[in-house]
Structure 1
Amino acid sequence: MSDEPKIPEKIERRLRLKTLRPDLEPLARELVELACTGSRELWGELTPDRLKQDTQLRRRFYELAHEGMFAAQEKMAGRVGTGERWDVSEQLLFRAVADTIAWAMLGGQLCYARRIYRFQKQPDLSASNFASVLRACQELRERAPGCMPLISDLTSFVQVGDIISVSAERRISIIEVKEGEHNKHVLDLAMFYAASGCETFREVVERTESRKTVKQMGRVLRQKARMTHVSEVMSQGSALDPDTGELVRIPEPFFPIETWDEALADLTEQAKERNWAYNVQGPIFLGAYAGDIAPRGHLMFLMALSLQGDVEQDYHIIRLADCMQIPLAPPVFSRTLADDVKMDILFGRMNVCIAVSIPALIEACEMAGMDVRHATRKELGRAKVAGARPVVHQGKGLMFSLEGREMMLLEGVIFRALFHGQQPESVLWHYLKNGELGLAKKGDVAN
């Protein structure tokens, strides 16, 4: 009988090497070059201090960056405009490029991205009012040179407004596009009601207009409320969510979180040289496999993990390329990796696997001065009822505390660790140390 640990088949299958359609690579390189390097001519002049202090240079930097982004969007729009169906590879590529632009517009801030994602399925572009939205983007560029109007439906997560636009001065606006006489009529009704707040007017509309018009007016009002909510959160730091009625706060001030981005970049370069590489960053386990080893690298990674713990119970594991299919996960193009490495990952020449070890996370948190205990059944049940998504390790939830504040470990912390390159113990420490989630006393549950 072999003592070799058994790898769960469902995990092995999920981590297998996958690839985009090979003939798309030249297009992928072109789109990424446009979307990510429009300001290249200024790179030699840039320093953080100069970009902050020199307003003319800063404006020119964003104008050039936006010009490249818009050129990438125009190229994708040309393909969508043919009306031909696009396959999964094209869809993943186009949405990833659009997402890369969106993340750049949002400064890479997950707290903002979460406000414009409504957990809905993005529409089929061939069935949307894509042509009219594209015309609106072109008109915006003419009226406000240097801005970057991004078509929301091109992305995987921008679900508020038809267009999210950022000016050369970094002011963000969300725009709804309406065409046709009937749509204009509905928009006028909705805007008058929103400005006046007159319930008598709304009652008159409900009595005199068709059911379709009344329903459409309601949708316009909800859209406007969501756009106002997002704008207020981004500009003021807090606002009531129109869908839930909850007060949403964007924490201030900004707290720097430790990351493993640099380790990932080093790891992939090592893998290109010798076909494989491993790295451990506290509770983060990294493995990269290239060349002939790439198709079976995930098996090597799982075997390595099994030497340290139970693969199914102790770890949360992804492929780096999974980010291409998950809204709110920045695409590979947004990571600080060499351009060739990004293409290797997408086109099957490299597989990168990442895991968070829960036992190692507990140990790292205790070393950082936090106390850790198991959640009670009541606490775990209350978290689930509240809509939270607790991490369950060996059948139990985990509570972390520091200086009188306590929070439950939720999936959001693991998501940040795996897809945003953040060290999970650093995330927990800052949540607790700074009261970022508004935790005032032990026993509270962080959502």
Structure 2
Amino acid sequence: MKTTEEHRIKVKEIADLAFANAVNSADFKKLIGTHPKDWDENIQEKFIEKVHEGFKKSQNLLVQEVLVNQELLRQKKEELKETRRKRETEKTENISIEIEVLEQRLSTFSHIADGIAWQLISGEIHIARRFHIGENSSKFLDSSNIEHAKKVVDEINKSPLDFALISDLTSFVQIGDVLIKNKNLVGIMELKEGKVNDQIKDFFDELKQNDTAVTEDLINNKFDEKAAKQAKRMQRQILRAERATEVMNTDAGIDPVSETPIKISTPTIKTEGYQEEFMKLNNILETKIWAYTVVENCLHIGMYRDKGIAMAGFAIEEILKKETENFIIIDWLSITNNLSQPIFAKPFPPDFIVDVLTGKIKIIMGLNLDNLIEFFNILGIKTRWLTKKETAKAKQKEVRKGMVVVNNRAISMTLPNLGGEAIMSGGIISKILYDNILPSNMALSLLSTEPEKL
């Protein structure tokens, strides 16, 4: 297993290729500070080629690193079983730590791939959510036909202006096997191998050419029970991919997960974040081992390095406990496992990003929910804690995925332009903690929500 420093060097190498290949090239350094809209078409194309070149090199390294680390993870898990069986406590603890390190490194590599995908979809979080269907994203590449996928993307990537990303490298692209960017269009490709899959594909292609709708009866009449089951599964995957692609390129269509009509509206409130607070804290870390601030009286941020990391989490938690019993606290490194704006899309220096991802800097964030509720009320959103009884009833009424519940109580919001109460979802908390949107801006955005977007 690589040392921490070796891992850091590799993460920086892969990230620089993925996100700075073009701007670091001699041809484009002279264009820094100018707007791409002011470039002529030839320069724009060459820039895209350079960006895609970096994506391709980064993807190749990601495949290598993920395969190596996943194999190490397999070995360590087998060793863990053996040490537990022998009741070797110290070895068990050491191996458990190594497993945690490997799993975080794999999450970091997936987060780099997420950053690439984020650029392909132009940073549209609603598109990212269409791709995520709630499946376990921790697939082992060597058991997901990686050789075939690599062969396909390498062929597509021979074109300088095209780029194909292997979905299994990411954590949130769970529809389709390959995400493809071609000029201004983004698409999804399903990869299938084997004689039966070829027959099913030919069958679907023939129906499409004849403009014939795929029905369950047609599938059952064409194939035996096992192949028919496979064909139906393939058809669902194809339909999901088609729907996701339509929403991606037109901002309207059928949601591939809920199968309900969806139309994405342009936000009326400009998003405002607090990323500059991170940079202020980072500057303090040049002479101190910890730094701390509070944003809008409800959001606590602590940043630590070196010996200060030992106090990370404990300090913020103690501060919050003195304020309220209703709070949420996170290690911001968990952004690598969260469906949100990747850290690479934020206006942070590359070295700071790598320091966070490799544990050289630790960031702990806490949200005082009582103060957040008070703040929302001041800004015009009637917000309150539900009772434990009301919360239990709300859970029974319908499945509320991501419903915020702290100490067995949920949070209710009444938006003037929507009418009625709505339960606060984890998406709102995620936007504040991981997308780094100011709580006040989050409230204003909710107040501008149109009824059809609820």
Q: Paired residue for 1:322?
A: 334
Q: For 1:350-394, what per-residue CA distance to the aligned partner results, in whole angstroms no more than 9, with x for missing partners?
A: 211112221221222233233334457568734664322332355
Matches within 5 A, 1:7-26: 21-26=4-9
Is 1:184 paired with 2:195? no
1:391 to 377, 395, 404: 404
1:381 to 393, 398, 423: 393
> Cα offset for 1:95?
1.3
Structure with greater contact order relative to length (CA < 8 Å, sep ≥ 6): 1
Give aligned-pair identity as a percent.
22
Is 1:30 paired with 2:13? yes
Structure 2 CA distance, aligned partners of 1:285 and 1:192?
59
2:123 partner amino acid? G
2:309 partner amino acid? A
Structure 1 CA distance, aligned partners of 2:128 and 2:256?
17
Matches within 5 A, 1:269-284: 269-282=283-296, 283-284=298-299
Q: Paired residue for 1:247?
A: 261
CA RMSD of aligned residues (A): 2.9
1:316 partner amino acid? I
Compared CA separation, residues 58 and 290, structure 1 to 2 (3 A): same
Structure 1 CA distance, aligned partners of 2:238 and 2:263?
19
Q: Paired residue for 2:242?
A: 228
Structure 1 CA distance, aligned partners of 2:21 and 2:396?
45
Q: Paired residue for 1:342?
A: 353
Whether contact under 8 Å (1:190, 1:217) holds in the other structure is no
TM-score of the aligned structures, taking structure 2 as reference length = 0.82
Q: For 1:79-111, what per-residue CA distance to the aligned partner results, in whole angstroms no more than 9, with x for missing partners?
A: 556797143254223212211211222222221
Q: Paired residue for 1:14?
A: none
Is 1:64 paired with 2:50? yes
Question: SS of 1:267's equivalent?
Answer: helix
Q: Paired residue for 2:184?
A: 170
Q: Paired residue for 1:403?
A: 416
1:263 to 277, 302, 305: 277
> Cα offset for 1:304?
2.4
Structure 1 CA distance, aligned partners of 2:319 and 2:213?
65
Compared CA separation, residues 373 and 184, structure 1 to 2 (3 A): same
Whether contact under 8 Å (2:180, 2:186) holds in the other structure is yes
- Structure 1 residue ranges, 4+ long, deviating more than 6 angstroms after superposition: 81-84
Matches within 5 A, 1:297-316: 297-310=312-325, 314-316=326-328
Structure 1 CA distance, aligned partners of 2:65 and 2:407?
49
> Cα offset for 1:199?
6.7
Q: Paired residue for 1:160?
A: 175
Moved more, 81-90 or 237-246: 81-90
Q: Paired residue for 1:51?
A: 37
Is 1:75 paired with 2:61? yes
Structure 2 CA distance, aligned partners of 1:110 and 1:432?
19
> Cα offset for 1:250?
2.1
1:66 partner amino acid? H
Number of residue equivalences:
415
Q: Paired residue for 1:16?
A: none
2:427 partner amino acid? G
Compared CA separation, residues 402 and 68, structure 1 to 2 (3 A): same
> Cα offset for 1:333?
3.8
Question: SS of 1:178's equivalent?
Answer: coil
Question: SS of 1:85's equivalent?
Answer: helix
1:323 partner amino acid? I
Question: SS of 2:323's equivalent?
Answer: coil
Q: Paired residue for 1:132?
A: 148
Structure 2 CA distance, aligned partners of 1:32 and 1:53?
26
Whether contact under 8 Å (2:332, 2:363) holds in the other structure is yes
2:322 partner amino acid? L
2:19 partner amino acid? C
1:427 partner amino acid? M
TM-score of the aligned structures, taking structure 1 as reference length = 0.83
Structure 2 CA distance, aligned partners of 1:83 and 1:423?
37
1:64 partner amino acid? K
Structure 2 CA distance, aligned partners of 1:387 and 1:53?
50
Structure 1 CA distance, aligned partners of 2:396 and 2:46?
49
Structure 2 CA distance, aligned partners of 1:399 and 1:268?
36
Question: SS of 1:317's equivalent?
Answer: strand
Whether contact under 8 Å (1:276, 1:287) holds in the other structure is yes
> Cα offset for 1:130?
0.8
Is 1:365 paired with 2:376? yes
Compared CA separation, residues 222 and 38, structure 1 to 2 (3 A): same
Compared CA separation, residues 186 and 380, structure 1 to 2 (3 A): same
Compared CA separation, residues 331 and 201, structure 1 to 2 (3 A): closer
> Cα offset for 1:128?
1.4
Q: For 1:48-83, what per-residue CA distance to the aligned partner results, in whole angstroms no more than 9, with x for missing partners?
A: 744366444333322211111110111223455679
> Cα offset for 1:288?
0.4
Q: Paired residue for 1:443?
A: none
Structure 2 CA distance, aligned partners of 1:416 and 1:238?
23
Structure 1 CA distance, aligned partners of 2:17 and 2:384?
49
Structure 2 CA distance, aligned partners of 1:109 and 1:234?
9
Whether contact under 8 Å (2:373, 2:384) holds in the other structure is no
Question: SS of 2:294's equivalent?
Answer: strand
> Cα offset for 1:212?
2.5
Whether contact under 8 Å (2:185, 2:249) holds in the other structure is no
Structure 2 CA distance, aligned partners of 1:397 and 1:187?
47
Structure 2 CA distance, aligned partners of 1:246 and 1:383?
22
Could you list the runs of 5+ residues in structure 1 that have no partner in the other structure? 1-18, 440-445
> Cα offset for 1:290?
1.2
